[in-house]
Amino acid sequence: MTTEPGQPFFKRSRSVVSRVIGGKTLIVPVRGKVGNLASIYSFSGTGSLIWELLETPRALTELAGSVQREYGVRQEQAQSDVSQFVAEMFSAGLVEVCPGIAMIAAESNGQVEWETAGSR
């Protein structure tokens, strides 16, 4: 699966800490150097895979390809599920867009496109 020019890349937010405990990924937002224990997020399975991949910037198509290969789902289903999950993480502040990477990809094709996680 290839990355389309101009497609946004996402990565983990710098405002969270995460740990894998008992096979689950736990994510805690950090505000003012203090963990917000009232807002702990827990992922397992597909969510943990996506979170692991987002250690480095990734495009939605790349994430969907990994989910498709790992779980043997159809491409359309993987793209839909990944887009929705990343949009929810984006809304919660767990991931952020890497505009510099998206801009480089768009400029290599001679055009500039900006998208947000919720636009898919």
- Tell me whether residue 24 is in a domain: no
> 52 lies in which domain range?
9-13+45-110
Structure confidence by residue, pLDDT tens digits, 25-60:
999 888 766 555 667 899 999 999 999 999 999 999
Total domains present in the chain: 1
Angle, CA 51 vertex, CA 61 and CA 22 arms, to 5°: 145
- Tell me whether residue 117 is in a domain: no
Kindly list the distances between the CA atom of residue 102 and the CA atoms of 52, 73, 89, in Å, as whole numbers in the listed order: 20, 27, 19
- Tell me whether residue 55 is in a domain: yes
Residue 101 pLDDT class (50, 70, 90 cuts): low
Kindly list the distances between the CA atom of residue 79 and the CA atoms of 1, 7, 54, 90, in Å, as whole numbers in the listed order: 11, 13, 16, 16
- Tell me whether residue 33 is in a domain: no
Residue 105 pLDDT class (50, 70, 90 cuts): very low
